Chain A
Amino acid sequence: MGVEALDPATLPEHDNLPGNAYAYCVRLTGPLFVQTGRMIAYYPAGGGTIRFEPLTATSLGSMVAERFSSPLYSRDWVVANGQGHVILGDRGYDINSYDLDDGNLTVRASNLLAFDAGLELKESIIPGFLTLLGTGKFLASSSGPVIFVEPPVRVDPEALVGWADCPAPAQHFDAGWMGHFLGAARGALFGTRSGEERQYDFTGAGTVLLQSSERVLEDPHVLQRLEGEVRQLGTGQLQRLGSVVQQEIAQRQQG
C-alpha cells in the first residue's frame, strides 16, 4: 500500500492523522491557543489565511487576558485564528485530545500543545504545571500512550503528565530515607538513596495521568519563578543559597 496524500477534504476534523499517533489535526472554528513550536503545518480554507498572533499583539486583547492567566508563560503561546486545518506535533510524542466539561485538569506545561478559548489557563501551585478550567478541548502529549491511574497513588515527578479532579499532590518522602535523614547528619546520607525518595502523593477522588519517565526538558520558567522569589530573601539567606548552589554544581560535575 502506498502513502495516501491528505488534502483539506480528507483531513480529519478533530483527530489524529490516520494511523499516526504523533500528529493531530484540528479544524479551526474559533480562536485556538497554541504553544510555539508545536505547529507542523496548516491548511487555510477557501483562499483565506490562518493568522498566528502573539498574545501581546492580538486583536482579541480582552478575551486573551481573561483566558490566559499566566504572565510567566505568555511569551510561549500564540493565538491561531481563521478558517482551515492546523496540524500539531511534539517531539514524536503520542498526542491525545481531552474534553473538559465544566472540569479542571492540570498538565505539565511542556506537554500542553493547544487549547480552545472555552477553557481558562492558570498556573498550578506545583512549578512547571498548568491548570485548565471550564468546558472545551485541549491537546496534550506524552512519551508513549498515557496511563490513567486512580488515587491513592504515589508518582515519580518525572513520570507525571497531569491530574484531573483530585486535589493537588503532596510531596512524599520515603520512610526509610526520612529515617536516615533524621537520624544522621546530612553528609552521612551516602548509600541510602534509592533514587525514589521524593514522590508526589495523590489522594482523593480523581484521575492521575502517567507516562514513561523522560529526561525532563529544562523549563526556563521554573528558573524565572525562583528568581522572582529570591528577592524576598535577606542577605544571610542569599549567601546560604549561594553556597548550596555551588555545592550542587560541584556534585553534578563529579557525577
Chain B
Amino acid sequence: MTFTTVTSKVVLAQVAPGREVLARRGAMLAVTGRVTFSPVAGGPGGGAYGGGLAASLARGVQGEAVALMVAEGSGAVHYGFHGHHVTVIELDGSRPLSVEADRLLAHDASLSSSVVFLGQQGGLRGAVRGAVTGQGMFTTQLSGRGSVAVLSHGGTFALPVSGGRQVVVDPQAYVAHEGDLRVDVAAAVSWRDAVGRGSGEAVQLRVSGEGTVHVQASEEKL
C-alpha cells in the first residue's frame, strides 16, 4: 500500500530508501521530508529503472512516452494532476496491468514496465483497435507487486470479466485492464452512420478472457 487516497483527486505516497516512486512530471503537489525528484529518461521504465535506450526510442516514436520523474529519499509526497480523478489499483503480481501512458499518474518503482505492441494481442485486429480508438499502436504494461495510481475523468469503476462472459466498453470510456484479456474492436456501423443518423456508439471494445477492466464514468479523454 504505497498510496493512500486523500481526496478523490489526490493520493499520498510514502517514499523510503528502496521504495522509490515513479510519477508523471509535474504531478507533485506537496512534499514533506527529505525527498528529491529527478527526471527519468525516455518515459516508462527508462534509464536506471529498466527498459533501456532502445525501448525508450521506440516509445518516443510511438507516442507512448510521457515524461516521468522519480522521487527518492524518505518522506511523503502528495500527487495529483490537473484536477483529474485518481484511482489506486493494487497489483498482487499474478497479473499485469495494461494502461495508456498518459493515464499513469504514479506507480511503485519496483514494478517493471514495458511497452507492448498491440499487434501482439490479437494480431492485426489489435493494431486496428489502436488506430480506431486513437490510442496508438502501443500500450504500457506494468507487472510485479505494487500499487498504481491511474488518472481518469470523473472516476472509474471496475468490471470483472470471466469465463464466457464478455464486457463491451465504449472506447472513450476505457481506462485500463488487468489480467490476460483480449480486447477487440466491434464495429456496428450501419447505413445510418453514413447519413449521420447513427446511435453514436458505432465503435465498441469487446473484452473477453479472465480479468478486470477499469472504465471511467465519462467519454471525455484526458
14 contacts between A and B (CB under 8 A): A144-B80, A149-B78, A154-B31, A156-B30, A159-B78, A175-B36, A176-B38, A196-B25, A197-B37, A211-B80, A212-B83, A213-B27, A213-B83, A214-B83
- By DSSP majority rule, is chain A's interface helix, strand, loop, or mixed? loop
> Do B82 and A212 touch across chains, with their CB atoms under 8 A apart?
yes
Q: Does A18 contact B (CB under 8 A)?
A: no
- A173-197: which have CB < 8 Å to B? 174-176, 191-197
Interface members, chain A 24-69 (any B CB < 8 Å): none
- Tell whether, in the assembled complex, residue A174 and residue B37 are in contact, meaning their CB atoms are under 8 Å apart: yes
Q: Which residue of A lies closest to B40 (CB)?
A: A194
C-beta contact mask, B134-149 vs A, less than 8 Å → 1, else 0?
Answer: 0000000000000000
Cβ of B25: which chain A residues have Cβ within 8 Å of it? Answer: 193-196
| Chain A residues near B26 (CB-CB < 8 A) | 156, 195-196, 213
Asked whether B80 lies within 8 Å of A159 as measured between CB atoms, the reply is yes
Total interface residues in chain B, CB < 8 Å:
26
Q: Tell me whether A212 and B7 are in contact (CB under 8 A).
A: yes
Interface residues of A in 58-117 (CB under 8 A from B): none
Given the contacts A144-B9, A194-B25, A196-B25, A215 and B82 also touching, CB distance less than 8 Å: yes
The verdict on A249 contacting chain B, using a C-beta distance below 8 Å, is no
B94 interfacial by beta-carbon distance below 8 Å: no
A135–B32 Cα distance when bound, in Å, is 31
- Complex CA gap A176/B30 in Å reads 18
Evaluate contact between B36 and A159: CB separation under 8 angstroms: no
Apart from A195-B37, A196-B28, A211-B83, list 5 A-B contacts with CB within 8 A.
A144-B10, A194-B38, A211-B80, A212-B10, A213-B81
- Chain A residue nearest to B34 (CB atoms) is A175
The answer to whether B29 touches A155 (Cβ under 8 A) is yes
Partner of B30, one of A175, A192, A208: A208
Task: Write out, one digit per residue, whether chain A residues 230-245 have a CB within 8 A of any chain B CB (1) or not (0).
Answer: 0000000000000000
By the criterion CB–CB under 8 Å, are A212 and B41 in contact? Answer: no
CB contacts (< 8 Å) of A149 on chain B: these are: 30, 32, 78
* Interchain CA distance A6-B210 in the complex, whole Å: 49
Q: Are B67 and A153 in contact, CB atoms less than 8 angstroms apart?
A: no
> Are the C-beta atoms of B83 and A152 separated by less than 8 Å?
no
In whole angstroms, what is the CA distance A153 to B7 when docked?
A: 18
B82 near A213 with CB under 8 A, answer: yes
Cβ–Cβ contact B31 & A199, under 8 A: yes
Chain A residues within 8 Å of B31, by CB: 153-155, 199
Q: Give the residues in chain A near B36, CB-CB below 8 Å.
A: 174-176
List residues 123-162 of chain A with CB under 8 A from any CB of chain B. 143-145, 147, 149, 152-156, 159
Q: In the assembled complex, which residues on chain A have CB atoms less than 8 Å from the CB atom of B7? A: 144-145, 147, 212
The chain A residue with its CB closest to the CB of B11 is A212
Residue in chain A with minimal CB distance to B70 = A194
Does B190 sit at the interface, judged by CB under 8 A?
no
State in angstroms the CA–CA spacing of A29 and B80 once bound together.
Answer: 39
Q: Which of A192, A194, A210 contacts B29 (CB 8 A)?
A: A210
Give 1 or 0 for each of B15-32: 1 = CB within 8 Å of chain A CB. Answer: 000000000011111111
Contact of B39 among A155, A156, A159, A194 (CB under 8 A): A194
Is B150 part of the contact surface with A, judged by Cβ < 8 Å?
no
Q: Which residue from A143, A174, A191, A195 sits with its C-beta under 8 Å from B9?
A: A143
